[in-house]
């Protein structure tokens, strides 16, 4: 191993790296953020399934993370909006210094996935936006062109971010 000071959690030189995961289902071309339902003592009709995440008009004001986690969105992601064919805008619940990477996959009931790549659309991205960073996302087909996922499929994303609290 290299003789450097690596973060012990991720073995990276970057300090305070954050991973956010989001699942989005498609109804037509409209993406909807999903929330994982954890079991409560193994009970509950929706346990171990995804359902639509709560929607709020705007992130709440105030200090502390607790209002954000329950008022809208899910696990670090506030909302998602389709802005054009193959272009989404993802609003996060917190602010970050920068986007380090995007990875994802499409889940379909059968056949071949039509989305094979994910890229940042820097025209839409804004890390310092009040109420949470904004990430522009481009969804790419096998030919490298912008495309919408097929209706009824879902997209799972992993966003790697540099925490804004790092000096």
- CA dist 75 and 77 (Å) reads 6
Containing structural domain, residue 66: 17-38+47-163
Domain count, the chain: 1
User: What confidence score (pLDDT) does residue 112 get?
Assistant: 87
pTM: 0.83
pLDDT digits (tens, 9 = 90+) for 83-131: 999 999 999 988 898 999 999 999 998 888 999 999 999 999 999 888 8
151 within some domain: yes
119 within some domain: yes
67 within some domain: yes
SS3 94: coil
Q: Return the closest-CA partner of residue 74 out of 37, 109, 31.
A: 37
12 within some domain: no
């Amino acid at each position: 191993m290299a003789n450097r000071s690596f973060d012990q959690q991720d073995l990276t030189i970057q300090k305070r790296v954050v991973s956010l995961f989001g699942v989005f289902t498609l109804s037509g071309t409209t993406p909807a953020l999903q929330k994982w339902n954890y079991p409560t003592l193994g009970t509950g009709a929706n346990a171990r399934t995804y359902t639509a995440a709560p929607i709020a008009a705007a992130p709440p004001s105030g200090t502390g993370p607790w209002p954000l986690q329950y008022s809208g969105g899910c696990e670090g992601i506030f909302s998602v909006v389709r802005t054009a064919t193959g272009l989404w805008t993802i609003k996060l619940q917190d602010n970050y210094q920068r986007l380090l990477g995007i990875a994802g996959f499409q889940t379909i009931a059968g056949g071949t996935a039509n989305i094979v790549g994910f890229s940042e659309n820097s025209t839409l991205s804004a890390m310092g936006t009040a109420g949470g960073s904004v990430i522009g996302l481009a969804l790419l087909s096998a030919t490298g062109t912008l495309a919408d996922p097929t209706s009824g499929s879902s997209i799972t994303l992993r966003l790697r971010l540099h925490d804004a609290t790092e000096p």
